[in-house]
């Protein structure tokens, strides 16, 4: 490859009302991945794809990140909005994930609406797929996308959590 010095990523853990989460951050303090510990294997698989050869060291995430996550679960549901993230999927995935962060707290979109928003009205299922391979749960709010008929339809972390997150955000959206 051109030039790939192995990158070291920090893996932290925090407990939340819906279970413990893993938070992966890089040297610049950007969040690279976030997922619930009961899906740790899945997250590692995604990481392996997006940051091949990276070295994972258990450690503490930067304080701003930890504070933001705590605040979010404590009711300050907008605390995650400005958190820097970094992903590395395909161009299509990048578009989808970027679009996700534009959904305001307390609102939802359907897969079709999201597809239309990125200019590909037909790519409905592809949006679902990209959604499902989002490495940064909660912060990149893939849980705000639901079926066009209002059903939740799916969530990598379990539908229960999706339901909880949406209710939590709705309750504190002010």
Partner DNA sequence: ACCTTCATGTCCGAAAACCGCGAGACTTGG
Partner DNA sequence: CCAAGTCTCGCGGTTTTCGGACATGAAGGT
93 contacts DNA (rule: CB under 7 A): yes
User: Minimum Å distance from CB 50 to DNA?
Assistant: 9
Which one, 68 or 123, has the nearer CB to DNA? 123
Among 25, 20, 14, CA closest to 47? 25
Spatial neighbors of 5 by CB under 8 A, at least 6 apart, are: none
Binding-site partner at residue 148 among a second copy, DNA, none, CB < 5 to 8 Å by type: DNA
* Distance separating alpha carbons of residues 150 and 120, to the nearest angstrom: 21
DSSP state at residue 106: T
User: Minimum Å distance from CB 6 to a second copy?
Assistant: 10
User: According to CB under 7 A, which one of 155, 161, 166, 169 is a site residue for DNA?
Assistant: 155
Which one, 28 or 63, has the nearer CB to a second copy? 28
* Distance separating alpha carbons of residues 110 and 55, to the nearest angstrom: 37
Single out the catalytic residue among 34, 51, 142, 145. Answer: 142
Which one, 49 or 67, has the nearer CB to a second copy? 49
DSSP state at residue 86: -
- Is 142 annotated in the active site? yes
Q: Give SS3 for 162.
A: helix
User: Minimum Å distance from CB 139 to a second copy?
Assistant: 20
- H helical segments located in 27-141: 40-50, 63-74, 91-100, 111-117, 124-132
User: According to CB under 7 A, which one of 13, 49, 60, 67 is a site residue for DNA?
Assistant: 49
51 contacts a second copy (rule: CB under 8 A): yes
* Distance separating alpha carbons of residues 90 and 70, to the nearest angstrom: 31
Among 6, 57, 10, 64, CA closest to 34? 10
Report the interface residues with a second copy, using CB under 8 A: 1-2, 4, 7, 51, 88
- Per CB under 7 A, residues contacting DNA are 49, 89-93, 110-113, 120, 122-134, 142-143, 145, 147-149, 153-156
Mind telling me the catalytic residues? 142
């Amino acid at each position: 490859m051109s030039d790939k010095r192995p990158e070291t990523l920090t893996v932290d853990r925090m407990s939340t009302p819906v279970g413990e989460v893993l938070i992966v951050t890089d040297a610049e303090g950007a969040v690279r991945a976030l997922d619930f510990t009961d899906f740790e294997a899945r997250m590692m698989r995604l990481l392996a794809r997006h940051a091949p050869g990276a070295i994972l060291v258990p450690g503490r995430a930067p304080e701003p990140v930890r504070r933001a996550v705590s605040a979010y679960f404590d009711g300050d549901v907008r605390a995650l909005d400005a958190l820097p993230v970094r992903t590395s999927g395909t161009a299509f995935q990048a578009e989808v994930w970027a679009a996700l962060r534009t959904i305001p707290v307390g609102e939802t979109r359907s897969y079709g609406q999201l597809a239309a928003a990125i200019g590909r009205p037909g790519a409905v299922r592809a949006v679902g797929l990209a959604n499902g391979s989002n490495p940064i749960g909660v912060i990149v709010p893939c849980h705000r996308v639901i079926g066009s008929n209002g059903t939740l339809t799916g969530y990598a972390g379990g539908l229960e959590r999706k339901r909880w997150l949406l209710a939590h955000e709705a309750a504190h959206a002010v």
